[in-house]
């Protein structure tokens, strides 16, 4: 690192995980990034993760210029210089890794978002589902726990399905009851997992309202779950591209915006 370089940071305090990223604004490159499970003491955990990244890069706190926080718990990150909504941060982060993106689908632990971008990459409009966990990563966590498997195993199960189950409940609590009934009736776990993934994808499609302009980029923690991009492509009937390191795009966008404030 040159002596005149200033590193900036983005902190994405999500509902299920905290993500932190250090960004070199001059070179437009990521210096370091990391994640930590969310907890009650959000500020302490975010600071611990931030300090860990600095230590890994042998950087003093004074080497970091601005810090921008985003996400569900952004107002709890007291060491941030300012906060910016996750809609704006995901737009900046996705456009950095996929400059031609026109539509962003972000599915996290507790909400999902559809973001439309104009030709210049600015947010044109967006829709958000934050009222029900049935269209979010929480639904996948529930089904994985019910089946006694890890999240990473869901994709392999869904891939073996020949007849995805119909999951009609609009609430994750009722959907879990519905899944218990399907298991009791002998429905294979493969078909249940495929049905759950399609259910989440269809809820996302419900936010689209009209055709989604391609390229469509899928981001957020759920984008890392095997099988979800296939479910989205089936529901949208369009190609969907997974963002590079999709869990980090919010933190990346926050860090990029921090570099503009430095």
Are the CB atoms for 117 and 95 separated by under 8 Å?
yes
- Look at 20-24, 128-132, 195-199, 217-221 and tell me which has the smallest mean pLDDT: 128-132
In the chain, CATH 3.30.420.40 covers 7-95+248-261, 101-242
Q: State the alpha helices, DSSP H only, in 41-122.
A: 42-56, 86-97
| pLDDT score for 130 | 56
pLDDT 10s digits, 183-231? 889 999 999 999 888 888 888 888 876 678 999 999 998 899 888 999 9
Top CATH class of 7-95+248-261 equals: alpha beta
Are the CB atoms for 87 and 104 separated by under 8 Å?
no
Q: State the alpha helices, DSSP H only, in the chain.
A: 42-56, 86-97, 137-147, 154-159, 172-184, 189-208, 228-236, 249-261
Q: If phi over 0 gives left and psi between -120 and 50 gives alpha, with beta otherwise, what is residue 209?
A: left
What is the pLDDT of the chain when averaged over all its residues?
A: 89
pLDDT 10s digits, 144-163? 888 888 888 888 899 899 99
**Residue for token pair 């899944």:** 179
| pLDDT score for 2 | 44
**In 95-122, which positions are buried (b, 16+ CB within 10 angstroms) versus exposed (e)?**
bbbbeebbbbbbbbbebbbbbbbeeebe
Alpha-carbon span 97 to 93, nearest angstrom? 7
pTM, rounded to two decimals: 0.89
Residue 3 has pLDDT above 50, yes or no: no
Pick the CATH number of 101-242 from 3.40.1080.10, 2.102.10.10, 3.30.420.40, 3.40.50.300: 3.30.420.40
């Amino acid at each position: 690192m040159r002596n005149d370089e200033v590193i900036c940071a983005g902190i994405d305090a999500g509902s299920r995980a905290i993500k932190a990223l250090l960004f070199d604004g001059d070179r437009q490159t990521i210096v370091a990034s990391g994640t930590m499970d969310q907890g009650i003491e959000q500020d302490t955990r975010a600071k611990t993760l931030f300090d860990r990244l600095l230590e890994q890069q042998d950087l003093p706190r004074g080497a970091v210029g601005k810090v921008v926080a985003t996400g569900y718990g952004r107002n709890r990150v007291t060491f941030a210089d300012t906060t910016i909504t996750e809609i704006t941060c995901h737009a900046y982060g996705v456009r950095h890794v996929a400059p031609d993106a026109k539509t962003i689908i972000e599915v996290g632990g507790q909400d999902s978002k559809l973001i439309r971008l104009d030709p210049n990459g600015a947010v044109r409009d967006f829709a958000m589902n934050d009222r029900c966990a049935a269209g979010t990563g929480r639904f996948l966590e529930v089904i994985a726990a019910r089946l006694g498997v890890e999240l990473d195993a869901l994709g392999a199960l869904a891939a073996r399905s020949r007849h995805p189950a119909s999951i009609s409940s609009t609430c994750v609590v009722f959907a879990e009851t519905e899944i218990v009934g399907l298991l009791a009736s002998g429905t294979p776990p493969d078909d249940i997992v495929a049905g759950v993934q399609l259910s989440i994808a269809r809820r996302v499609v419900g936010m689209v309202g009209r055709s989604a302009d391609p390229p469509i980029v899928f981001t957020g923690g759920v984008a890392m779950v095997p099988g979800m991009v296939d479910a989205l492509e089936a529901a949208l009937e369009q190609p969907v591209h997974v963002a590079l390191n999709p869990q980090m795009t919010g933190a990346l966008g926050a860090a990029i915006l921090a570099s503009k404030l430095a």
